[in-house]
Amino acid sequence: MNARPERIPIPSAQRWENFRERVLPAICLAATLAACGWLWQQQGRVAPFVHGEVGAEIVDVRSPVDGRLEAIEGQPNGQWPLFAPISSGAMAARVEQAIGKDSSVDLPAPIDGVVTKVSGLPGQWIGRGETILQIASSKPTFITCHVPDNGSKPPEPGTMVAVRLRGGGNRWAAAEIEGIGPIVASATIYDGTSGGATTRGLPVRITLPTDLPLKPGTLVDVRFPPGTPM
């Protein structure tokens, strides 16, 4: 009876070559699919965030009557200069009423702030409802941001969010959503590379954290609760 032929051993280099060409690609594919599935499940648990801007109250001082602007005592050229600080109750403008009326109307500043727009000069005729000055508060009062309008239900007023100054190393502070605008509006993209590009979304007004050094115009990051549709 013939003896069974002896098997020729496969070199280890050839075994590794076979494993690398036949088995390893299948393992990598399975691992990739598993990782994609895990990331898909975790997507709803990530806390999304958007960029926002600190805002302040801005009011227009308008003439309640037809008349002529009078000079304001103590001010250069009889008018408030641009970017001049102004206190609430200070004389912002005075209008001499039209012919037939012998009195002037004093218009006090409604808030503390800074003059950001001058629309009338002493001696100039101005109509009822026209803007004479614009005053912006120097104190921040709220934060605005925009959430994408993707058909999902937007966050509701009263939802707690986190706010921080732009930058990865800054700490987060708690804030609350005050309201959601009903109309989709344009918003500037503050990513540092878009060159003033805009996007569209629902405007969100957020309370101001008391423990962050914010001022009007400051850019912030706003983090929403995990699972918020974005």
Mean pLDDT of all residues belonging to the chain:
84
User: In which band, very low, low, confident or very high, does the pLDDT at 127 lie, cut at 50, 70 and 90?
Assistant: very high
User: In which band, very low, low, confident or very high, does the pLDDT at 140 lie, cut at 50, 70 and 90?
Assistant: very high
How far the first Cα of the chain sits from its last, in Å, is 78
Residue that is written with structure tokens 């989709």 in the block? 184
Report how far residue 90's alpha carbon sits from residue 111's, in angstroms, rounded to the nearest whole number: 9
> Span 7-28, mean pLDDT?
78
Whether 21 has a pLDDT exceeding 90, the answer reads no
Q: Which segment of 62-76, 106-120, 184-198 scores lowest on mean pLDDT? A: 184-198
Across 109-123, 177-191, 196-210, the highest mean pLDDT is recorded for 109-123
User: In which band, very low, low, confident or very high, does the pLDDT at 27 lie, cut at 50, 70 and 90?
Assistant: confident
pLDDT at 143: 95
Residue that is written with structure tokens 């302040």 in the block? 56
Domain boundaries, the chain: 12-43, 47-56+139-223, 58-136
pLDDT at 161: 94
Q: Which amino acid is at 172?
A: W
Q: In terms of CATH architecture, what is 58-136?
A: Beta Barrel (2.40)
Q: Which segment of 26-40, 100-114, 155-169 scores lowest on mean pLDDT? A: 26-40
Residue that is written with structure tokens 């702030």 in the block? 113
Q: Which amino acid is at 18?
A: N
Report how far residue 190's alpha carbon sits from residue 205's, in angstroms, rounded to the nearest whole number: 17
Tokens representing residue 122 in the block: 């002493």
Domain 47-56+139-223 - what CATH class?
Answer: mainly beta
Report how far residue 230's alpha carbon sits from residue 228's, in angstroms, rounded to the nearest whole number: 6
